[in-house]
Amino acid sequence: MQVYNEHKAGTNSAAFPGKISAAVLLPLLCALTISTGSVQAQPEGSGPLHEQYAGKYGHFGYRNPNDVNRDGYVSDNIYGVENLAYYGDWDSNRILIFDVDNMRLLTIVENTGAGPYGIDQQSPKKAYALTRKTQSLTIVNNKTFENDGLIPLDHKPRSTNYNPVTDLTLVSGGDKAMTSIIKVGKDKVVKTIGDNLETHPHDYGGSLSTGHPVWVNDKKFFMLDRAARTIQLWNRRGELLSTLHTATSVHHIFQPPAATMATGEESIYYAVEEGNQSERISPAILRFKLRGNTLVETARVELNSIDPSAYDAGVMGAHHADFHPDGKYIYVGSTEGHLFVINRKGMKVEKVVEVGKGAGHTTFLSMRNQAIITNHNDTFVSVIDTLNHKWLRNVEVADDASPDYKSQAHTSGVSLDMQYFYSAASHDGVFYRINLDTWNVFKTPATGANLLMGSFIWNGDGTNM
């Protein structure tokens, strides 16, 4: 392993109910359900830890286990728009920014470099565009929406994970098993760890060299080497502390909602093993523990273990998993069109729900006891009753779909009152909204862009959507 140091930077306004008062917002902060891990655990059932951080951007931000940062900031942009959605155009070199409340394209950031995929929020001031076809990041000014230049890297970028306490962000490698650490205030790479060699993973989930990075604390982080099939624990000095070998490549690491974790569970993590179709290895959920500086596997469950004769590992592949708001269940989709519901304590598949092709992300609607499944290779999203884990309906959001491209984006958001679900029909190039009472869909005009991933800014500081 080598360590590299000190690089230099280079349409309907009535649709949304408007600002939400602080009295209404506070309980909403506690109810929103994309889990963000914990800074310290608490006795189970003793009340949400979220309350002590409500109204400010705190420690939970950098523990967000999701694939992109979707943390809320109060935006002071020059347009005066409070709620925003950023999406990259994979087929071009531009970023599209939408006015969420009025469902319209607000502005475009040009000349980002080739292949902007995700646009991760790094602080209230800026976002980084992950231009996966170039060895650099593009800085987007959150006030003016201007292109503020590039940050050169020794690798192509995959994803980031920002730590607001240290003002450091991790940038995982797209073509090499490397991670760069950037001081966000200076837009400067201060250290790069890993091997400066291209790698070519062969498991389900594509050719990206790493999975999504995660800060463990202010000094340590995980790097997921997909080709080597390992979870690695590193420190900021560039020392490899521990390696855990996995059956297939790992997409991301996540934890239960903080309010559901008992004392001592802050050191327990869950990982999505993506599976391998040619080797007929089922995707799985892996549980492991951090004991000091050592990673130790404690349990593993393959998705098809509920009935290997009915669920063929040769056509399966997992993309993303999310915890149910109660912390008792894990929802994970598989590409052939099933949602697997796993009991967290017993690490056992309890139920399988038929959904759509390319089933990936789950967005929980906690106040409605429902969840929306993004089916990346189908024309509809699937709605699930989260009380009994049953299918409720499909909602058409895309004009067409294919195994050869993503019909639906990775990134979605929910209004703070849980009245609307927002996402993009990627291949159609439209941003859309679903009314969660009527299930009617409203779309923006087609943009001609391939909208795959991005981030949201909500008018609610510290709100993790």
* Both structure tokens of 464: 């993790």
Close Cβ partners of 259 (under 8 Å, ≥ 6 residues apart):
30, 42, 47, 48, 49, 50, 327
Q: Is the pLDDT of residue 406 over 80?
A: yes
pLDDT at 63: 34
* Both structure tokens of 219: 């000094």
* Both structure tokens of 3: 């360590």
pLDDT at 458: 85
Q: Is the pLDDT of residue 273 over 90?
A: yes
Close Cβ partners of 216 (under 8 Å, ≥ 6 residues apart):
222, 233, 290
Close Cβ partners of 160 (under 8 Å, ≥ 6 residues apart):
69, 118, 120, 122, 128, 130, 169, 170, 171, 172, 213
- Domains in the chain (CATH in brackets) are 2-457 (2.130.10.10)
pLDDT at 124: 87
3-state secondary structure of 288: strand
Report, as an integer, the average pLDDT of 209-235.
97
DSSP 283: P
Task: Give the residue among 230, 218, 213 at the shortest CA–CA distance from 1.
Answer: 230
Q: Mean pLDDT lowest for which of 5-14, 70-79, 306-315? A: 5-14
- Whole-model pTM over 0.75: yes
User: Which of the four pLDDT bands, split at 50, 70 and 90, describes residue 219?
Assistant: very high
pLDDT at 72: 55
Q: How much of the chain exceeds pLDDT 70, in percent?
A: 83
Q: How much of the chain exceeds pLDDT 90, in percent?
A: 78
Task: Give the residue among 158, 258, 167 at the shortest CA–CA distance from 213.
Answer: 158
Close Cβ partners of 132 (under 8 Å, ≥ 6 residues apart):
115, 116, 117, 156, 157, 158, 174, 208
* Both structure tokens of 346: 């017993």
| 8 Å CB contact between 432 and 441 | yes
Q: How many CA atoms lie within 13 A of 451 on its CB side?
A: 31
pLDDT at 74: 66
Q: Which residue has the higher pLDDT, 63 or 457?
A: 457
pLDDT digit string, tens, across residues 24-61: 332 333 333 333 333 333 333 333 333 333 333 333 33
CA torsion through residues 25, 31, 36, 39, sign: positive
Q: How many CA atoms lie within 13 A of 105 on its CB side?
A: 19
